[in-house]
């Protein structure tokens, strides 16, 4: 029995350590997302914009998916942010049940979202990919854009939070695309310069038309592994949790069960 108890105590110590690490991650998650490194991949929090959206700073018009932060150019109008719902318009969701949307009416904007990660391997090539879509129109035909809306994605390999910083490396050499009425995949690579990095999604409405809407879904950040195929990022699971978050919950529950069983042996 002593041997069994010793094994149980070791298992509990291992589980508790990983649970504490998981708790440390969740405490910082609202402003400075932290990441787990899985087989060379960097796990963005909530890469698919699933789960509950929160009101940033208590502002109703700023509904942003957990793990992400909004940004906008204060010299132009602040757009509204909200959850693009599969049930409302399936064309605006790339996968799962939701995507992030920002928009305004009869106004222009330069705006988007960002997320900062830590634990980045300095000197390696980072890859950020995101599906983006725009709808820009003076009419209410939601299947056909006739305006002007541009999008791009970027990486700040120093982990800064300013999308206007010259440190940010943008997709297509900075040339934005116009992904009207259907999702398009954007890709950008940057050399990791520090132990943290920030990923940005950027959208710009050029004309103050009735509708200027931007959407993004299914982001991915990984380290290019010297030519080999990168392993997939953790996929979202129902309820908005990543596989890693589910594993943490299982670890905590196991630790709880072992503690309860040890108590019966006292
Ligand atoms: Ca989604």
Tens-place pLDDT, residues 58-107: 999 999 999 999 999 999 999 999 999 999 999 999 999 999 999 999 99
Gap from CA of 42 to ligand 1 centroid (Å): 18
218 and 243 co-located in one domain: no
Gap from CA of 99 to ligand 1 centroid (Å): 5
Gap from CA of 48 to ligand 1 centroid (Å): 4
164 and 246 co-located in one domain: no
Q: Which domain holds residue 1?
A: 1-30+235-266
Over residues 5-17, the pLDDT tens digits come to 554 544 444 444 4
- Tell me which of 50-54, 213-217, 260-264 is least confident: 260-264
The number of folded domains in the chain is 2
108 and 194 co-located in one domain: yes
Q: If DSSP codes are grouped into helix, strand and coil, which group holds residue 209? A: coil
CA distances 58 to 61, 63, 68, 101, 208, Å, are 9, 9, 15, 18, 27
228 and 240 co-located in one domain: no
Over residues 117-134, the pLDDT tens digits come to 999 999 999 999 999 999
261 and 164 co-located in one domain: no
Gap from CA of 5 to ligand 1 centroid (Å): 45
Over residues 169-210, the pLDDT tens digits come to 999 999 999 999 999 999 999 999 999 999 999 999 999 999
Gap from CA of 106 to ligand 1 centroid (Å): 27
43 and 131 co-located in one domain: yes
Share of the chain above pLDDT 90, in %: 68
The C-alpha atoms of residue 204 and residue 170 are separated, in whole angstroms, by: 14
**How remote is the C-alpha of 38 from its chain's centroid?**
16
112 and 206 co-located in one domain: yes
114 and 13 co-located in one domain: no
Gap from CA of 33 to ligand 1 centroid (Å): 19
204 and 122 co-located in one domain: yes
Q: State the CB neighbour count (10 A cutoff) for residue 114.
A: 21
Gap from CA of 52 to ligand 1 centroid (Å): 12
The C-alpha atoms of residue 245 and residue 228 are separated, in whole angstroms, by: 27
**CATH number of the domain that 108 lies in?**
2.60.120.260
224 and 154 co-located in one domain: yes
Gap from CA of 131 to ligand 1 centroid (Å): 10
Gap from CA of 167 to ligand 1 centroid (Å): 29
**What is the pLDDT, as a whole number, of residue 157?**
98
Gap from CA of 244 to ligand 1 centroid (Å): 18
Among 231, 233, 167, smallest CA distance to 194 is for 167
40 and 127 co-located in one domain: yes
12 or 20, greater pLDDT? 12
The C-alpha atoms of residue 56 and residue 13 are separated, in whole angstroms, by: 37
Over residues 155-164, the mean pLDDT reads: 97
Q: If DSSP codes are grouped into helix, strand and coil, which group holds residue 136? A: strand
**What is the pLDDT, as a whole number, of residue 2?**
52
**What is the pLDDT, as a whole number, of residue 43?**
82
Gap from CA of 236 to ligand 1 centroid (Å): 9
Q: Where are the alpha helices (DSSP H) in the chain?
A: 2-27, 243-265
Greatest CA separation for the chain: 76
Which DSSP category does 246 fall into? Answer: H
Going by C-beta distance under 8 Å and a sequence separation of 6 or more, which residues neighbour residue 73? 109, 110, 111, 164
Over residues 243-262, the pLDDT tens digits come to 555 455 456 556 666 566 66
Strands of 17-124 (E only): list them.
37-38, 41-42, 53-55, 63-65, 69-72, 80-85, 98-104, 109-118
2 and 75 co-located in one domain: no
- Tell me which of 34-48, 88-102, 214-228 is least confident: 34-48
Predicted confidence band at 266 (pLDDT cuts at 50, 70, 90)? low
Q: State the CB neighbour count (10 A cutoff) for residue 178.
A: 14
Under 8 Å between Cβ of 137 and 131: no
């Amino acid at each position: 029995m002593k041997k069994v108890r010793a094994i149980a105590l070791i298992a509990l110590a291992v589980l508790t350590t990983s649970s504490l690490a998981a708790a440390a991650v969740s405490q910082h998650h609202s402003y400075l997302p932290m990441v787990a490194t899985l087989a060379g991949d960097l796990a963005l929090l909530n890469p698919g914009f699933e789960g509950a959206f929160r009101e940033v700073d208590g502002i109703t018009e700023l509904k942003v998916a957990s793990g992400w932060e909004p940004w906008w150019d204060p010299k132009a109008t602040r757009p509204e942010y909200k959850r693009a719902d599969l049930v409302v318009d399936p064309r605006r969701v790339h996968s799962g049940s939701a995507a992030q949307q920002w928009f305004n009416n009869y106004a222009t904007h330069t705006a988007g979202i960002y997320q900062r990660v830590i634990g980045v391997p300095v000197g390696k090539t980072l890859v950020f990919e995101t599906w983006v879509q725009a709808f820009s129109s003076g009419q209410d035909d939601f299947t056909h854009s006739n305006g002007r809306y541009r999008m791009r994605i970027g990486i700040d390999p120093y982990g800064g939070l300013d999308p206007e910083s010259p440190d940010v490396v943008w997709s297509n050499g900075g040339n934005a695309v116009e992904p009207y009425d259907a999702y398009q995949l954007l890709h950008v690579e940057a050399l990791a310069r520090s132990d943290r990095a920030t990923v940005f999604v950027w959208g710009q409405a050029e004309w103050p038309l009735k509708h200027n809407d931007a959407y993004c879904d299914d982001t991915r950040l990984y380290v290019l592994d010297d030519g080999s195929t990168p392993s997939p990022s953790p996929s979202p699971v129902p309820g908005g949790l990543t596989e890693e978050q589910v594993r943490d919950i299982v670890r905590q529950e196991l630790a709880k069960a072992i503690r309860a069983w040890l108590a019966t042996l006292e």
